[in-house]
Amino acid sequence: MTNQTLDGYATTFANSIDNLVARVAHQDMTRAVPTCPGWSLEDLIEHVGHLNRWAAQIIIQPDPALVAWDAVPDSAPSDYSAATLSDWLPGSQQAVVDAVQQVGPDTEVMTFIGIRPARWWMRRLLNDSLMHQADAAISLGSHFHLTPSLAADNIAEALELFVARAGATYPTFEGPLLFPTPLDEGKSLRLELTDLGLEGRAWSLVRNGDGVAFSGDHDFGATIVRGPALDLMLMIGRRVPVSQSHVEITGDPAVLDAWLDRTPY
């Protein structure tokens, strides 16, 4: 995990779920979520709750090799009233926290990118819930705010997933998926933050065989994308088009376009 403690992630995760409940409470749950084609707000909420409970099952599986990726718990809420959701959705988050505490945060468990400490899931599911908060806000036409540090960690964690899975087949919540290689040969991409206090924080990515890798060097031929952390997070997560994002691109924009086309979130 990054500079947040396990308790810090648990608290932020709980707050994120509470905020998601508050955002959709008393709304029309059949409303479409344009950033998740084919989904309604009801589908979005079910996804978050199912994913949390599914991950909790995986965490407590004593033999990671026996994880059943298709064993999604049937745990839909009885209805979508504010009262029900305020219990059902936070309950799914608590199931994850309880599972991590039960096995121990450093116990090795199965994840989307192989064996990792159980604490890995806390960060993954927190960041997933934050992105889905953005989905709900976009659906409802409401404002979505996130601290630059949380948005930056969301970017970092998403890039770590892309680097780990690029060019290979890995399990997902919805079954095995072949992840394309998002950079062509000889191409590189660099993301730079411009938020106050985060200036200079950047990620450089290069083609590496059939996959991609982080590079510690500043490739002066890279396509550079600079902007506030939240804008970069929503752009990399393909929630906001590049044309509507407050980012500055230096170099070949086709490199960024290819990355976005080939990186399912």
Beta bridge partners of 225: 191, 249
* Residue 149 is assigned to a structural domain of this protein: no
Here the tokens at position 257 are: 């376009």
Q: What is the CA radius of gyration of the chain?
A: 18
Lowest mean pLDDT among 103-112, 133-142, 174-183: 174-183
Instruction: Give the integer Cα–Cα distance in Å for 96 and 93.
Output: 5
Structural domains of the chain, count: 2
Contact 218, 252 (CB under 8 A): no
**Is the same domain home to 130 and 35?**
yes
Cα-Cα end-to-end distance for the chain: 20
Hey, how many other C-beta atoms are within 10 angstroms of the C-beta on 207? Answer: 19
Whether pLDDT at 2 is above 60: no
Domain limits at 66? 6-143
198-235 per-position pLDDT tens digit: 988 999 999 999 999 999 877 778 999 999 999 999 99
Instruction: Give the integer Cα–Cα distance in Å for 34 and 244.
Output: 15
Q: Which of 143, 177, 209 is the last residue of a domain?
A: 143
Here the tokens at position 107 are: 């116990």
**Is the same domain home to 170 and 115?**
no
* Residue 1 is assigned to a structural domain of this protein: no
| HSE, side-chain direction, 13 A CA sphere, residue 248 | 7
Which pTM value belongs to this model?
Answer: 0.94
**Is the same domain home to 130 and 177?**
no
> What is the pLDDT at residue 66?
85
Cα 239 to the chain's mean position, in Å? Answer: 12
